[in-house]
Amino acid sequence: MTPSPTSSSSGRSAVGRRAVLGAAAAVASAPALGALATPAAAAPSGRGKSPKALPGGGDLGPNVIVFDPSTPGIQATLDEVFKKQESAQFGTGRYALLFKPGSYHGLNAQIGFYTSIAGLGLSPDDTTINGDITVDAGWFNGNATQNFWRSAENLAVVPVNGTNRWAVAQAAPFRRMHVRGGLNLAPNGYGWASGGYIADSRIDGQVGPYSQQQWYTRDSAIGGWLNGVWNMVFSGVEGAPGQSFPNPPYTTLTTTPISREKPFLYLNGSEYRVFLPEKRTNAHGVTWGNGTPRGTSLPLSQFYVAKPGVTAATLNEALTQGLHLLLTPGIYHLDRPVEVNRANTVVLGLGYATLVPDNGVTALKVADVDGVRLAGFLIDAGPVNSATLLEVGPQGASADHSANPTTVQDVFIRIGGAGPGKATTSMVINSRHTLVDHTWVWRADHGDGVGWETNRADYGVRVNGDDVLATGLFVEHFNKYDVQWFGQRGRTIFFQNEKAYDAPNQAAIQNGSIKGYAAYKVADSVTTHEGWGLGSYCYYNVDPSIVQHHGFAAPNAPGVKFHNLLVVSLGGQGQYERVINDTGSPTSGTSTVPSTVVSYP
């Protein structure tokens, strides 16, 4: 390990958590930049055989802003979007900034909340920004732990000073990117940071996490990795550091068992299409390194291009007609579930399109069918309790989807923060072989509508289906279990968790005779399960005397195995007695030093 000025020994990553380092971001509403937008368009498909049929294709709306190298005033447009979104943590603005293939010069695209920047080529190298794509934390006094809900995808970047800064927290994926230089994951001044996720990307130079507490990198290529604070996990990464947990805290798998990259919008000449990357087994490195990626594509004419204000009934009618869904940026209120019943359906969001279930409904349900792809949207719980927010497969789903699994990618769930929200269980995975590739399921610890009962949410993710793989699982602050796993042969590569800050007292979290609910609980009926690089942190700031017995709970069975676990008490605000079951040393005092278990049992 190369020492850094903000390694764990420096204390820079110690106590400063999101809820106590400052007030929540100012709520700001961002109206459409209608005068600046160049709406993308595709001709309607003419699929409908009757006047009532919904058309495919069409305009992508004012909050999808498309640039080509000859577009005037690109920097001014980028700056205006950033000004609206920089501190709009719980605002209503949503933006997608799309760059047509070509070379762009002298740009600094600063990326704020609910903003996605992406290239429109088949390969990242088709669209080159000679400049920077920047996330920093000036809006929050140099603290990057609240830099959520933003993304970069499918671009090549040639940084001005040789290193690009991407100081993000949760729900901020960096996908299909080529950085022709280094990548700095810390804010200016090396303040606190809590991220993050990279996939299918090539960073020619070194990645410097500095103060980042944890990070997951999948199926990528890097020129080097500088340091680690608590939990750095790599699977299928060329150039990754060797396995060395806990010192340095690197968990390294040579390959990713199963992966299928996220669908993405691109241009074929003047025609918009959506590319669907193929499934890979035991993947290593990027999908696009030798030119055209492998997979299939669909014309935009096969998508219903949804705009905010559309009803759930209309979305379901489009699905019934056989159309896919493209959710353009904005907020969608749903009075009934969106129901995906057809195999191979794509539901793709742009610019953090947000689904809000009203009157306690489930936002989205998927049938027990092959190959559904859910990607790139946020589900925000409504004020009336929903039993569930996302269901993949009905209860009792049992079909074999090993050849063509459903994927859930960059699908984020929030309960509270933008206002009171409630849900009993946020994400339920019933279908076998589902791939959950990067999610952040968050019961808000700050913002509007936050309190132990105000945004009550007992369970984060529940996996009932067999053979489910999670790569990049972030689940935080639930009133009871954050993750419950009932399916057989489940696997998780990288898990990040914080227990709920706001438990009022020990009795509020008591789980029968056990002190507290584990962050990650494998059911007693499970005989085969495996996890790599899993961390749980506690910060019981309402009652710092609360004791959590363990972060992880699992049956003692030969087929249930864990590698590289840690628990951390942040500044002594609550303590763990053990890491997993009754194994592992307790956290101690205010030292904010992880207690680790390298292998269990």
CA triple 327-332-336, angle to 5 deg: 105
Contacts of residue 47, defined as CB under 8 A and 6 or more positions apart, other chains included, come to 53, 55, 56, 301, 302, 321, 322, 323
Cβ-Cβ contacts under 8 Å for 182 (sequence gap 6 or more): 159, 162, 163, 164, 203, 204, 205, 206, 207, 208, 223
| Residues constituting the chain | 601
Q: Is 10 exposed, middle or buried (0-12, 13-18, 19+ CB in 10 A)?
A: middle
Measured distance CA(499)–CA(537) in Å, rounded: 6
| DSSP state, residue 131 | E
Q: Do the Cβ atoms of 302 and 56 come closer than 8 Å? A: yes
Q: Are residues 410 and 173 in contact, defined by beta-carbon separation less than 8 angstroms?
A: yes
* 302 exposure class (CB count in 10 Å sphere: 0-12, 13-18, 19+): middle
Of the CA atoms within 13 Å of residue 110, those in its CB half-sphere come to: 18
Establish whether 498 is a catalytic residue: yes
Q: Are 534 and 565 in contact (CB under 8 A)?
A: yes
E runs forming strands in 320-468: 324-327, 331-334, 338-340, 346-357, 364-366, 373-380, 386-392, 407-415, 423-429, 435-443, 459-463
* CB burial readout 550-565, b (16+ within 10 A) else e: bbbbbeeeeebbbbbb
Of the residues 153, 261, 476, 498, which is catalytic?
Answer: 498
Whole-angstrom Cα distance, residue 455 to residue 181?
43
Let me know: does 583 contact 248? Beta carbons within 8 Å: no
Residue keyed to tokens 């019943």 = 341
Residue with tokens 């993750």: 483
Q: In 341-460, which residue ranges form alpha helices assigned H by DSSP?
A: none
Nearest Cα to 301, choosing from 267, 342, 338, 273?
Answer: 273
| Rama region for 219: left / alpha / beta (φ>0; ψ in -120 to 50; rest) | left
**Torsion sign, CA atoms 71, 72, 75, 77:** negative
The one-letter code for the residue type at 319 is L
Q: Which two tokens stand for residue 171?
A: 């729900």
Residue with tokens 């970047």: 157
**CA atoms of 477 and 7, how far apart (whole Å):** 25
Q: By the 8 A CB rule, do 570 and 544 touch? A: no
DSSP state letters, 44-97? -----SSTTSPPPB----TTEEEE-TT-TTHHHHHHHHHHHHTT-TT-S--EEE
The gap from C-alpha 163 to its chain's centroid, in whole angstroms, comes to: 24
Which residues are annotated as catalytic?
A: 498
